[in-house]
Chain A
């Protein structure tokens, strides 16, 4: 006989017993201790069938394979670049993965990316915490020229993106800015109009602040419309 001690979307603390009995399976953020499943992290309970998961609510960015991140080129080696992705260690972008065109060995690598360049890249491989490989081959992955970068809490990134990108496409549409949200909490924004850019920045900060409140999409929509309307009058 198994029984579940928590409900969906409950906030749990580390060490809290989530379920008893062998009918449930611990997933990310949980572990099994004898016949109990306990939370190993502060977070929200997510139940899907027999799986129990705890979704992280706070803390630093932890790289995961497949994440699109925004990084800064900090070093150039013989065969690639070192990129700061706001994790304890720098990620590696090899020559092969850096561009869709073939880069000859003798090329001066600064032609492609130089110190201080901001790039959007995807994580392809992680081993331990020191070895992280990036790729620039993929849709939307490129060097980011101009614009500005803001930093938000990594755990709020899913809210900024929204379901199937609904939130971010709404912001893009209403402000006319180009926006890339990195899973590491960095957001790149570029627009032709500085006022529109400022609106996009304000909106993203507002989402971060109110991420936990209900009716977020509607509120952001009216916020964007209000601000858009007032700027037109002036």
Chain B
């Protein structure tokens, strides 16, 4: 009995189950594209501006446009107040987000310009970078940026020796938990982000990534639905 209790997840989910998800597109009026993605208690907002002129000029690429990403957490998003402004962690996540979205977007026809992505986390309960990537990919599509595919992201991990999908903060904080954020382009199962924090064996990692793919397919469906929802009426013409 005690054994069974131990492997049960704090919110009673199955190991291969994600939290309840919600996605909305076009919520920020002044942005060229915007989206919100909620995964359980984690909420991410993303706004896309551009293509617009890039400053400083030396960063301009005459061959293609560049992607610039900014991830930030609101000071009230976590239990203990987060000091506002960029942090070491924020800079890292901005970079991995940019790299996760980079393979999907095609900015060849926007030479010398920049597409800016701003991701803001208003409520955090683990998996914020994944929620951010998911929201940003929807916002990019909403801004009409040419893309190869939508990017969906989810975290997988090893909790109490079992591979589980979409960890919450409570699970992440347990001793010996391994956290693996994963971003995947669903059509061809191409992985664009894979980070790993903790110990895991090779076989378990493969199992975890397979589980992440499964989770990302579910997220992809939600992204697709949210994007189509915004333009639904057009079809009824």
Q: Which A residues are closer than 8 A to B by beta carbons? A: 9-11, 13-17, 29, 31, 38, 40-44, 56-60, 62, 88-89, 128-130, 155, 212-214
Could you show 9 A-B contacts with beta carbons less than 8 Å apart? Answer: A14-B141, A17-B187, A40-B147, A42-B141, A57-B234, A59-B143, A60-B50, A89-B53, A128-B111
B172 within 8 A of A: no
Least CB distance, A60 to chain B, in whole angstroms = 6
Give residues of chain B (27-70) contacting chain A, Cβ–Cβ below 8 Å.
32-33, 50-54, 62, 65
Q: Report Cα–Cα, A17/B188, bound state, in Å.
A: 11
- With beta carbons under 8 angstroms apart, the residue of B32, B106, B232, B237 that contacts A214 is B237
- With beta carbons under 8 angstroms apart, the residue of B52, B147, B237 that contacts A15 is B147
Least CB distance, B140 to chain A, in whole angstroms = 8
Q: Which B residues are closer than 8 A to A by beta carbons? A: 26, 32-33, 50-54, 62, 65, 104, 106, 109-113, 141-150, 185-187, 223-224, 227-228, 231-237
Q: Which residues from A are CB-within-8-Å of B146?
A: 14, 29, 40-41
Closest to B54 in A: A88
Decide: A38 near B236, CB < 8 A? Known: A14-B150, A130-B111.
no
Q: Which residues from B are CB-within-8-Å of A128?
A: 62, 111-112
- With beta carbons under 8 angstroms apart, the residue of A16, A59, A62 that contacts B33 is A59
Closest to B223 in A: A13
- With beta carbons under 8 angstroms apart, the residue of B51, B143, B235, B236 that contacts A88 is B51
Decide: A88 near B147, CB < 8 A? Known: A57-B234, A59-B33, A60-B32.
no
Q: Determine chain B's interface SS by DSSP, over half rule.
A: loop
Q: Which residues from A are CB-within-8-Å of B110?
A: 88, 129
Least CB distance, A95 to chain B, in whole angstroms = 25
- With beta carbons under 8 angstroms apart, the residue of B145, B185, B224, B237 that contacts A59 is B145
Q: Report Cα–Cα, A9/B234, bound state, in Å.
A: 8
Count how many pairs of residues, one from A and one from B, have CB atoms less than 8 Å apart in the complex.
Answer: 111
Q: Report Cα–Cα, A66/B33, bound state, in Å.
A: 27
Decide: A60 near B237, CB < 8 A? Known: A40-B106, A128-B112, A212-B231.
no
Which of A14, A129, A213 has the most chain B CB atoms closer than 10 A to its own CB?
A: A14
| Top 9 closest pairs, chain A to chain B, by CB | A59-B144, A15-B149, A14-B147, A212-B234, A88-B53, A128-B111, A214-B237, A11-B231, A88-B113
Q: Report Cα–Cα, A213/B233, bound state, in Å.
A: 7
- With beta carbons under 8 angstroms apart, the residue of A60, A130, A213, A214 that contacts B51 is A60
Check if B143 sits within 8 Å of A58, measured CB to CB: yes
Q: Report Cα–Cα, A58/B104, bound state, in Å.
A: 18
Check if B50 sits within 8 Å of A11, measured CB to CB: no
Check if B236 sits within 8 Å of A41, measured CB to CB: no
Check if A13 sits within 8 Å of B227, measured CB to CB: yes
Give me 10 other A-B pairs in contact (C-beta within 8 A), A58-B142, A62-B109 excluded: A11-B227, A11-B231, A13-B223, A40-B146, A58-B144, A60-B50, A129-B109, A130-B111, A130-B112, A213-B237
- With beta carbons under 8 angstroms apart, the residue of B112, B145, B231, B236 that contacts A57 is B231
Q: Which residues from B are CB-within-8-Å of A58?
A: 26, 32-33, 142-144
Closest to A45 in B: B235
Closest to B188 in A: A33
Which of B186, B187, B234 has the most chain A CB atoms closer than 10 A to its own CB?
A: B234
